[in-house]
Amino acid sequence: MKILKFFLLWLLFTVATLISWPIGALVGNAITQSSPPSVNNDSATALVFLFVCLINSLLITVLIWTTRRYTGVLKGTVLILYCFVIQFLLTQMETFFFAESINITTEQITSILIAGFVVAVVTIPLGILISDKLAKPIADIPLVLVFAGRSGWVIPMILLVCVVYPLLYFVFGYYVAWQNEALRIFYTQSSEIKPFFVQITNAISEGIYYFQILRGIIWVAISVPVILMLQHLRLSQYLLVGLLSALLPSILLFLPNPYMPAEIAMSHFVETSIS
């Protein structure tokens, strides 16, 4: 019976996503007075959009379902911010950094952020409400985030955001995405591939390394509350957080993209989903 309720929640969440996403895009375009370049609007594009919404909704449905033991406004706020930041803010921060290479304006980036925020604000509370109606919370626990007495996490977190995250970013960026000649030409107008340590040196001098530390700080800060909410899952907690971190941002790369050829987007999908 619980499986049927879960699938019903997934179905309803997908419908809400399918409706709210185009509305969010319209709101974003209206506020910023901008619009993206046109893309082919055919049946294949519609199927890809449906596929992305199904996978995206499945991931967030699992997150809502596994955190239903918690209640309160703070829980909803945490989930809204997590999905928005992981899926839209962090990805568009990188878009902004490389905006010149992919020929996108600040207004268009802002429009994407607004659309993402609309989707999160509409779908997450609705998903929580439906989940509570379908299956009462396992335990009615108001979410309270307490970090007092946990000073032992400070040094590991510093290492995570200053060393581990940037290292993962540059290693997978170089040895997975950057090996694609078309991708190098797209970003640099050159097929030249420099040695890894030269790329790292350039990244430090050009500020990319420090920018990734900033993204790492935001990523960790927004993920910790969700991780605390999933503590009761024990081993499956690690798999779920990994899948959310990997697929929530990267699944969007399947959408037809007027700023990036499909081949480039798929290279980034492999790079980001694995790393």
Distance CA 135, CA 168 (A): 39
CB half-sphere exposure, 47, CA atoms < 13 A: 3
Pairwise CA distance, residues 148 & 188, whole Å: 47
Assign 229 a pLDDT band (cuts: 50, 70, 90): confident
**pLDDT one-digit tens code per residue, 112-164:** 999 999 999 999 999 999 998 887 766 566 666 665 556 677 888 888 889 99
| CB-based contact 191:185 (threshold 8 Å) | yes
Q: How far is CA 174 from CA 180, 193, 208, in A?
A: 9, 9, 14
Task: Give the pLDDT band (50/70/90) at residue 97.
Answer: confident
HEC readout, the chain? CHHHHHHHHHHHHHHHHHHHHHHHHHHHHHHHCCCCCCCCCCHHHHHHHHHHHHHHHHHHHHHHHHCCCEECHHHHHHHHHHHHHHHHHHHHHHHHHCHHHHCCCHHHHHHHHHHHHHHHHHHHHHHHHHHHHHCCCCCCEECCCCCCCCHHHHHHHHHHHHHHHHHHHHHHHHHHHCCCHHHHHHHHCCCCCCCHHHHHHHHHHCCHHHHHHHHHHHHHHHHHHHHHHCHHHCHHHHHHHHHHHHHHHHHHHHCCCCCCCHHHHHHHHHHHHHC
pLDDT-derived band at 181, boundaries 50, 70, 90:
very high
Structure pTM? 0.89
Q: What confidence tens digit (pLDDT) does each residue in 231-254 have?
A: 877 778 888 888 999 999 999 999
pLDDT confidence of residue 147? 58
Q: What was the pLDDT predicted at 46?
A: 87
Is the per-residue pLDDT at 87 higher than 90?
Answer: yes
How confident is the model over 63-76, as pLDDT tens digits?
A: 999 988 888 888 89
Q: What pLDDT, on the 0 to 100 scale, is given for residue 228?
A: 86
Q: Do 55 and 251 touch, CB atoms closer than 8 A?
A: yes
* Per-residue model confidence (pLDDT) at position 110: 94
Residue 39 has pLDDT above 80, yes or no: no
User: Residues 19-28: what's their mean pLDDT?
Assistant: 95
pLDDT at 141: 65
Q: Which two tokens stand for residue 1?
A: 């019976």
